[in-house]
């Protein structure tokens, strides 16, 4: 099992949830209104007057075979509008109940 953390511009919310559900994943946790700046070349998303947009984040636990299809869709979304910013991070889940 893997965890996928997805940080994305608030405009992507519907596409993120649709992608997760299309992969057959039911559960996720969403954090709205997070602040930050990308590590490569992204503009800040601070929810302020100077930087009015903000990001959201989703964390979902998925079977290993679902990771690549989800990441492929996320990468395509990011490449279609790179200025919006979308990043995914995957790590192993050792145990769960």
pLDDT digits (tens, 9 = 90+) for 29-66: 999 988 776 666 666 666 666 766 788 999 999 999 99
Which domains does the chain possess? 2-92 (3.30.70.120)
Q: To 10 degrees, what angle do helices 64-80 and 13-22 make?
A: 150
Residues in Cβ contact with 60 at an 8 Å cutoff, skipping those fewer than 6 apart: 3, 4, 6, 20, 25, 27, 28, 29
What is the pLDDT of the chain when averaged over all its residues? Answer: 89
Residue 54, Ramachandran bin (φ over 0: left; ψ between -120 and 50: alpha; else beta):
beta
């Amino acid at each position: 099992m893997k965890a996928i953390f997805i940080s994305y511009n608030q405009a992507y919310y519907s596409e993120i949830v649709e992608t997760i559900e299309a992969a057959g994943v039911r559960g996720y946790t969403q954090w709205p209104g997070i602040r930050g700046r990308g590590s490569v070349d992204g503009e800040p998303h601070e929810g302020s007057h100077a930087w009015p947009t903000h990001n959201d984040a989703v964390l979902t636990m998925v079977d290993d075979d679902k990771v690549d299809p989800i990441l492929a869709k996320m990468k395509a979304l990011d490449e279609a509008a790179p200025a919006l910013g979308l990043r995914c991070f995957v790590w192993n889940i050792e145990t769960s109940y």
